[in-house]
Amino acid sequence: MTDETILQVKGLRTYFNTDDGVVKAVDGVDFSLRKGETLGIVGESGSGKSVTNLSIMNLIPNPPGKIMGGEVIYHDTDLLKLSDKGIRAIRGNKISMIFQDPMTSLNPFLRISNQMIETIVLHQKLSKSEARAKAIEMLVLAGIPAAEKRIDQYPHQFSGGMRQRVMIAMALSCDPEILIADEPTSALDVTIQAQILDLMKELTSRLGTAVIIITHSLGVVAGMCDTICVMYAGRIVERGSVDIIFEKPMHPYTRGLIKSVPRLDRKNGARLYSIQGQPPNVIDLPDCCPFFPRCEHAMDICKTKYPLVHDDGNEHRVACWLYGREGK
Amino acid sequence: MKANDARGAAAGFGAAFGRDAAKAAASGETILEARDLRKEFPIRGRAGETKAGKAAAKAVVRAVDGVSFRLGRGEILGLVGESGCGKTTTGKMIMKLLEPTGGRILVDGRDVTRTAKGDEIAYRRRVQMIFQDPYASMNPRFTIRGVLEEPLLIHGLGTSGTERLAKIREVMERVKMVPADEYLDRYPHMLSGGQRQRIATARTLILSPGIIVADEPVSMIDLSTRAEILSMMKAVQRDMELSFLYITHDISTARYFTDRIAVMYLGKIVEVGPADDIIDHPLHPYTKALIAAVCEPLPGKVDVIKELPITGEIPSAAEIPTGCRFHPRCVHRMDRCARNEPAMKGIGPGHEAACWLNEPSPEVR
């Protein structure tokens, strides 16, 4: 990891128009990604983590969704201002994605070879046979045994873990600078999950790829990431290095989330912690701290104003009124 | 007319169940027992087309391949395993949603493996199920009141609307959906996943069952509310002395929630014992791998992705390996593992495992 910032998201807002009102799925998200860094975006369902990343790739279906504001600066280009053609040259090439369910992201009617070669030929000026060689090379790297034979098989002939390996091979086949992985292991069994995460970690560090991992699993971010962003109701409520987040979490939501992880070393019958209340409805959210109804430390100001971001040094930032108001 | 028949049958069968349940409580005996339960699914395909096809037509997937366990009154048994191990198929057979190919199911000491169609309705008053997906298991056009009233109508419980409403309010209080009146006229889509799973639990409780089969009840619930749902289920289970079969892939919630854990692999139970014992002193290499696979971040210990003591992926249940079915993935495999299948063997109090490592090898002796 170097200090060179390659992707910068500033004030990103993505809204969806629904019959019930405007859903502010992403409402002012800022973060940056450095070369070779692994960044984790963690949050529960509806927190806006997937929409954030679909927005980066300009993949929000419009209507009903619309990117209302903000910038996504990749090197010196704002991806949100690019034409369809311009973004297509980057998508799958410089920035590629892995989705949760490998079965639905592979075309069941096409051989793996067709799907991989198509991508490589499109983005890198290689001939078909060169592209095939490159595809086989990537499959071997991803740990697919007998890759020269298996490349001509169809997706259903692969197991769930093997399919995710194919997805990883495909995503890395154009040497992307950034890999976005949306819940890459959530559909896999626990004993396979570790193998796939290991593979991702090893391949991306070898190729120097920066990674954004979107997940609801604190275990996955802890094991994979350098930096963590915690999202709640469309905003990043805390950001810091993985050590700081797990050592000294500041936001009451982050603390609650870490305490909620069921731990194997606790005896049977021990009380499991959970955050009181329900996740908020993101329709027509008022401009207050969305976490205050569930927060043990809620104060009057939390109900009227969204907290300012407080920087604790060490690039540890938190949006909570508990911090940074000394002397006021 | 048809409903009346069902009700009549329900009364007779239900009364018998009730009596047996009381007897079971007095002696602390087994409420539910599975004996060598089996389920095979035929593989469809090019049957009859070719000679090979004819042979293939006989091929089967042995989803459950001889599963035996006992569930006591007021006990929670966890059935833990990965996808394809047969845990859900086992649960469906217990629920009588699937007919077993072999083996027996005993409830309150009665053989219920093959009950007549009319008796099934009475059986389901005794044995209820909570499904994984709270979004798919409720009719979206029913209000919460309708969702909870339907089982009462099907089983002919509660003579008047007011009586039924009182019962609905009672179970909603049990699952902490209070004040009940605030939710009665809402539709499922207006509730969060956690609230829906509370309603699903209430729907099973409204029939006062003795046994609940819960298939991954919290795997679709967000982490911050998961514990709350589990605590609620456990409180209800204790208050009502329910027997729970908790089916899950997640061994860490199983430790919190269950009294005993049975670990399944490729259609068979490979280890069973008290929950704490299984996790603190696992004996089967597969159980060890499952425990090692849990990644739990702790302050100062974030490097949680470990190399697991397991290789490869679960084989197809259509081609179960010879000998010990776990041997191709096992890091301790020996010659005999590929040849002979180990039987379940008692190791400690109530703790059994099927692994040759736990038995002195005759070749060595």
pLDDT at B15 over 50: no
**What pLDDT was estimated at residue B327?**
94
- Could you give the CA distance from residue B18 to residue A79 in angstroms, rounded to a whole number? 67
pLDDT interval class at B302 (50, 70, 90): low
Interfacial A residues in 244-303 facing B (CB < 8 Å): 246-247, 253, 256-258, 260-264, 266-276, 278-279
Ordered by where they begin, the domains of chain B are: 2-43+61-358 (3.40.50.300)
Name the phi and psi angles at A167, rounded to 5: -60, -40
Burial class (CB in 10 A: 0-12, 13-18, 19+), A322: middle
- Who wins on pLDDT, B308 or B204? B204
Most confident of A324-328, B291-295, B347-351: B347-351
Q: What pLDDT sits at residue B245? A: 96
- Which residues have C-beta within 8 Å of that of residue A289, sequence separation ≥ 6? A295, A298, A302, A303, A305, A306, A307, A319, A320, A321
Taking CB atoms and an 8 Å limit, are A193 and B256 in contact across chains? Answer: no
- What pLDDT, on the 0 to 100 scale, is given for residue B22? 41
Is the per-residue pLDDT at B335 higher than 80? yes
Q: Which of residues 110-149 of A touch B (CB under 8 A)?
A: none
The pair of structure tokens assigned to B357 is 């490592």
> What domains are there in chain A, each with its CATH number?
5-94+177-192+204-319 (3.40.50.300), 106-173 (no CATH)
Instruction: Please provide the average confidence, as pLDDT, over all residues in chain B.
Output: 84
pLDDT at B300: 56
pLDDT for the residue numbered B122: 87
Shortest CA distance from A279: residue in chain B: B192
Q: What is the pLDDT of residue A193?
A: 84
Cα separation, B175 vs B172, whole angstroms? 5
Average pLDDT of chain A? 88
Cα distances (Å, whole numbers) of residue B259 to A72, A118, A198, A328, B278: 51, 53, 34, 52, 11
Render pLDDT for B252-284 as a digit per residue (tens, 0 to 9): 889 889 999 999 999 999 999 999 999 999 999
Distance CA A290, CA A307 (A): 10
Residue of B nearest to A194 (CA): B305
| Pair B261, B250: CB distance under 8 Å | no
Question: Count of A–B CB contacts within 8 Å?
Answer: 141
Specify whether the CB–CB gap between A210 and A36 falls below 8 A. Answer: yes
Residue B18 has pLDDT above 60, yes or no: no
Q: pLDDT of A102-125, one tens digit each?
A: 778 889 999 999 999 998 998 888
Share of chain A above pLDDT 70, in %: 97
Percent pLDDT > 70 in chain B is 84
Instruction: Please give the pLDDT value at position A266.
Output: 66
In 3D space, the residue among A290, A325, A238, A285 whose CA is nearest the CA of residue A40 turns out to be A238
Give A42's strand partners: A215, A230
Low-confidence ranges of chain A (pLDDT < 50): 327-328
Distance CA A237, CA A257 (A): 13
Complex confidence, ipTM:
0.75
Closest alpha carbon within chain B to A42: B223
Residue written as token pair 């027509």: A284
Give A166-224 pLDDT, tens digit per residue: 999 999 998 899 999 998 888 778 888 888 888 888 889 888 999 999 998 888 888 88
Which residues does chain B have within 8 Å of residue A189's beta carbon, measured at their own beta carbons? 82-83, 249, 314
Q: Do B276 and A268 touch (CB under 8 A)?
A: yes
